[in-house]
Amino acid sequence: MENKVNLPVWHKTFDAVSDIVWLLDKEQRILCANTATESVLGRPPKDIIGLHCYEIAHPDKQPAAGCPLKLARKSMRREKMELMMGEKYVEFIVDPIADEAGRFNGAVHIMTDITERKRTQAEILKLLSRLAEKEKEIEEYLYTAAHDLRTPLICVQGFTANLKKDFKELAHLASSAATAEEISAATLRFTSGPAAESLDSVEEAARKIGQLLTSLLKVSRLGRLHMQPEILDTGAIVNNILTALSYQVKAAGAEITTGPLPHCKADKTALGHIFSNLLDNALKYRDCGRKLKITVRGEKNGNGAVVYSITDNGLGIKKNNLPKIWQVFYSGETSVPEKGEGIGLTMARRLADMNEGKLWAESKEGEGSAFYLELPAY
């Protein structure tokens, strides 16, 4: 077969195309190649004329499984294939050329760099996965909020019914021929008995409802926060937090040890909030029967991320309660002097997620807990 051929019109046309385009003969050898061959593969067209396409296109210089050229030769229709070449994804498209009898007589072979397309597809899938997680998260928030709001609302409804009953009794006495002594006694009973207690309960229920709604608003505002990732000195941030918590640390009689804390890339305010919450929880949920020891350290994991750990020898968490700690309004079953709103860990995990990271925990009741924060390394 002659390697030198006159460039047909199609060849001049495809020289303007950024994709690699080859014309193959019926033996699957390259007859013509456009100039993109050299710009993409680094080999001028004249050097590959006469070679089989797989000697150039396939990494091991052998036809790959599912080779589109083989399939096109058999099916006599366009065939496609995606293949990883080095660090790039390449799409192969083969359009067979038939002779007058309809038999295979060559093909047009196109190679397109689809690396960016694949990255975009992967990013879309990642975003869709996160969207599904957020939808599930919202459902959990709504369920929890509805459940936690129901109790104080029932309380308000019940005591309101009692108040209406007492008011009705007073109104009846006032409109009847009751003596002043009877009215006075009923009024005293109304203002100092169950009715007064009802008012206190209604007030507490209203406070609880207000607290729950405020907490929900705090969580909802997270979605509107704009993260500004930057290279952060995590050690300096943790030291500032420990300084701010020095009173609580002294009051708890805690011993806090810090190890290596590699830099990471994250939003500074978000990182400070996460560490503040985790350290505050470690101090709050301590075992008063032994000296509290907390260790904060981190290390790069070799996958472009740094993993920080905050470990303690506190009360620990029951195994079946561990998944619940991330739920909004959950504040644990342990008896501690001051429980929070039950949204700290929810917000901390959301902030980690918004910084392309993740937050998880391991714990054993009676022995302590370990929280792990993974964030991109710089």
For residue range 210-243, what is the model confidence (pLDDT) as tens digits?
Answer: 777 776 777 777 777 789 999 999 999 999 999 9
Mean pLDDT of 301-319: 94
User: What pLDDT, on a 0 to 100 scale, did the predictor assign at position 83?
Assistant: 84
Residue 197 token pair: 């207690």
pLDDT grade for 251, boundaries at 50, 70 and 90: very high
Do both 220 and 240 map to the same domain?
Answer: no
Count of domains in the chain?
Answer: 3
Residue 98 per-residue DSSP state: E
Mean pLDDT of the chain: 85
Mean pLDDT of 158-170: 78
User: What pLDDT, on a 0 to 100 scale, did the predictor assign at position 4?
Assistant: 41
Name the pTM for this structure: 0.57
For residue range 94-135, what is the model confidence (pLDDT) as tens digits?
Answer: 999 999 999 999 999 999 999 999 999 999 998 888 788 777
Has residue 251 been placed in a domain? yes
Do both 326 and 239 map to the same domain?
Answer: yes
Residue 329 token pair: 């309004």
Residue listed under structure tokens 């104080």: 152
**Domain CATH code at residue 372:** 3.30.565.10
Mean pLDDT of 340-363: 89
Has residue 319 been placed in a domain? yes
* In the predicted structure, residue 6 carries a pLDDT above the cut 60: no
Do both 109 and 139 map to the same domain?
Answer: no
Domain around 162: 129-224
| Separation between Cα atoms, residue 66 and residue 191, nearest integer Å | 87
Has residue 1 been placed in a domain? no
Q: Which helix (H) or strand (E) holds 264?
A: strand 264-267
| Separation between Cα atoms, residue 242 and residue 7, nearest integer Å | 75
| Separation between Cα atoms, residue 17 and residue 301, nearest integer Å | 43
Do both 360 and 241 map to the same domain?
Answer: yes
Domain end marker among 186, 205, 224: 224
For residue range 178-194, what is the model confidence (pLDDT) as tens digits?
Answer: 777 877 777 777 677 66
Mean pLDDT of 308-315: 97
Do both 81 and 138 map to the same domain?
Answer: no
* In the predicted structure, residue 306 carries a pLDDT above the cut 90: yes
| Separation between Cα atoms, residue 279 and residue 238, nearest integer Å | 9
Domain end marker among 45, 79, 113: 113
Count of C-beta atoms within a 10 Å radius of residue 179: 10
For residue range 52-71, what is the model confidence (pLDDT) as tens digits?
Answer: 888 887 666 667 778 899 89
pLDDT grade for 5, boundaries at 50, 70 and 90: very low
